[in-house]
Amino acid sequence: MKDAHSADRAITTTNPATEKQLDSYPLMSDAEMVSALEACHAAFTDWRHKTHKERGEVLKAIGAGLRARKEEFAALMTREVGKRLEDSRNEIELCAAICDWTAQAGPEILADETREIQDGRKGVITKSPIGVIYGIQPWNFPAYQAVRYAIANLMAGNGVLLKHASNCTGSGLMLRDIFEEAGLPKNLFTVLLIDHDQSDDLIGHKLVRGVTMTGSAGSGSKIAAKAGEHLKKSVMELGSNDAYLVLEDADVELAVKTCVTGRIFNNGETCVNAKRFIVTDKVYDAFIDGYIKAMGDVTLGDPTREDTDLGPMARGDLRDTLHEQVQQSVAKGARIAVGGKIPDGTGYYYPATVLTEVAPGQPAYDEELFGPVASVIRAKDDEDAMRIANDSRFGLGGGIFSKDEDRALELARAHFDTGMVFINHFNLATPEMPFGGVKDSGYGREHGGFGMNEFVNAKAITLPG
């Protein structure tokens, strides 16, 4: 049994803008972890019998609770992970919108379905909740990452466990408090303060019926293997190096502006950020001139200030990894057009950076750069641009800039090997549309009603004709 209160069994959070300690939280012992799981399961046994409408009313109240505490929650997220205060506020609004949409759409999506069977019998398909769903979530969206899977599963009637990233522990606990203040039964959404070894043990526990994770492909592979070992269904939302294509007929001014936003949004630390910019030869010079200037004008600074475009990275080790990827890419032929130097002073800051002459074999081409570094790649023509876009082990999102939206739609539909495509704009996620990827970006879907159906038992019931 581990001692949850020993000095080396605690989580410490740090403000990435000041490098000062924020708080400390004792980790759970194994017994406390199992007790929390059992309490969540007990809450589930009652919640599963609530009607869809009853569950929806609680979700709407959670949305209202998030909006009521938006300023407090946003300030905490900014302190914990360094995201701009405005981005934190927008994240809370997105979470509230997810609650509202799920409450409204859930009853229809989860409703029983009747089918006529060929031999004259009647079939009923009912979507039954399966139990406790365990979520392992990252730090880059402290509220949204948890809300994205939790709200869908609560609507479906499941219980929810959250192992949040340690550096946003306070945000996870605040989310739990908001859920319970809104009327969600105690323990139905439980935050676990545990380490990786305990997490592996938890996946194997008989009361855990499903596992969902957001993170890197490497971590996802390990968690998926552990879930598979115990025959637990899993959903994996993993990283990517999303390509944005600037085709020969693109509006270059729109592409430049959007690709800056797409790269530095959330301090560049988003799985579905625009990361590789594949520009056709015909418009390359106009794009690169405008893009370098615009990225060079990005203001780096205090994330609480309204005039800041880019705040610090969430941790020092993340900044070091990003800078190493930049240096390795340069050593293999890439060129730094702007940025690329760690600034002096306090805080884990990294400037908006543009790499050109990016080619296969460089981290800037092959890997995910999780920070404000853009990889610009020249393509011969539109066909070559699509080939380069798909030349990746990842496939979460991507974008196309073209004045011919019908053609862009066809390219997205028939050729882009990703889970999401944004045409002539950049976006993170919307409640109405599915979110998820292919290849090393994972499997399964969230949002758009798909997340509500990931962890239910589609139970087939037949009756005589």
Q: What is the pLDDT of residues 324-357, one digit of tens each?
A: 999 999 999 999 999 999 999 999 999 999 999 9
The predicted model gives 246-272 an average pLDDT of 98
Residue 282 clears pLDDT 90, i.e. is over it = yes
Q: Give the three-state DSSP class for 61.
A: helix
Residue 2 in any domain: the answer is no
Burial class (CB in 10 A: 0-12, 13-18, 19+), 30: middle
Residue 77 in any domain: the answer is yes
Which of 32, 271, 367, 446 is catalytic? The answer is: 271
345 and 222 both lie in a single domain: no
Residue at 58: amino acid letter: V
Q: Which residue's structure tokens are 């939790």?
A: 150
Which of 80, 237, 367, 446 is catalytic? The answer is: 237
The pLDDT tens digits for 24-36 are 999 999 999 999 9
Residue 437 clears pLDDT 80, i.e. is over it = yes
453 and 350 both lie in a single domain: no
28 and 75 both lie in a single domain: yes
Confidence of residue 465 (pLDDT cuts 50, 70, 90): confident
277 and 300 both lie in a single domain: yes
The predicted model gives 272-298 an average pLDDT of 98
Residue 291 in any domain: the answer is yes
Residue 435 in any domain: the answer is no
Residue 3 in any domain: the answer is no
Please state the pTM of the whole predicted model. 0.96
Measured distance CA(27)–CA(8) in Å, rounded: 9
Residue 395 in any domain: the answer is yes
Residue 4 in any domain: the answer is no
**pLDDT number for residue 8:** 66
What proportion of the chain, given as a percentage, has pLDDT over 70?
Answer: 98
19 and 163 both lie in a single domain: yes
425 and 454 both lie in a single domain: no
Rounded to the nearest integer, the mean pLDDT of the chain is: 97
Residue 321 clears pLDDT 90, i.e. is over it = yes
Phi, psi of 116 (to 5 degrees): -90, 125
CA distances from 139 to 23, 80, 171, 191 (A): 16, 9, 9, 14
Q: Give the three-state DSSP class for 12.
A: strand
331 and 368 both lie in a single domain: yes
Residue 5 clears pLDDT 80, i.e. is over it = no
The pLDDT tens digits for 155-186 are 999 999 999 999 999 999 999 999 999 999 99
125 and 142 both lie in a single domain: yes
94 and 14 both lie in a single domain: yes
Residue pair 33/198 in contact by the 8 Å Cβ criterion: yes
Please name which of 199, 173, 197, 193 lies closest in space to residue 27, comparing C-alpha atoms: 193
The pLDDT tens digits for 206-250 are 999 999 999 999 999 999 999 999 999 999 999 999 999 999 999
Please name which of 183, 202, 178 lies closest in space to residue 38, comparing C-alpha atoms: 202
204 and 259 both lie in a single domain: no
Domain count, the chain: 2
Q: Domain holding 404: CATH number? A: 3.40.309.10
Residue 6 clears pLDDT 50, i.e. is over it = no
Domain residues for the domain of 384 are 243-430
Measured distance CA(419)–CA(442) in Å, rounded: 10
Measured distance CA(150)–CA(171) in Å, rounded: 14
Measured distance CA(147)–CA(62) in Å, rounded: 10
Q: Domain holding 122: CATH number? A: 3.40.605.10
Active site residue 237: yes
The tokens describing 113, both together, are 């379905």
Active site residue 168: no
The CA dihedral of 238, 244, 245, 246, to the nearest 10 degrees, is 180
Measured distance CA(199)–CA(193) in Å, rounded: 10
**pLDDT number for residue 4:** 41
Residue 188 in any domain: the answer is yes
The predicted model gives 85-103 an average pLDDT of 98
Phi, psi of 302 (to 5 degrees): -55, 120
User: Which residues does 446 contact at the CB level (< 8 Å), separation at least 6?
Assistant: 148, 149, 152, 235, 237, 434, 435, 436, 454
Find the DSSP H helices in 114-209: 144-156, 169-181, 196-203
**pLDDT number for residue 7:** 41
User: Which residues does 17 contact at the CB level (< 8 Å), separation at least 6?
Assistant: 82, 302, 303, 311, 312, 346, 347, 348
What proportion of the chain, given as a percentage, has pLDDT over 90?
Answer: 98
Burial class (CB in 10 A: 0-12, 13-18, 19+), 57: middle
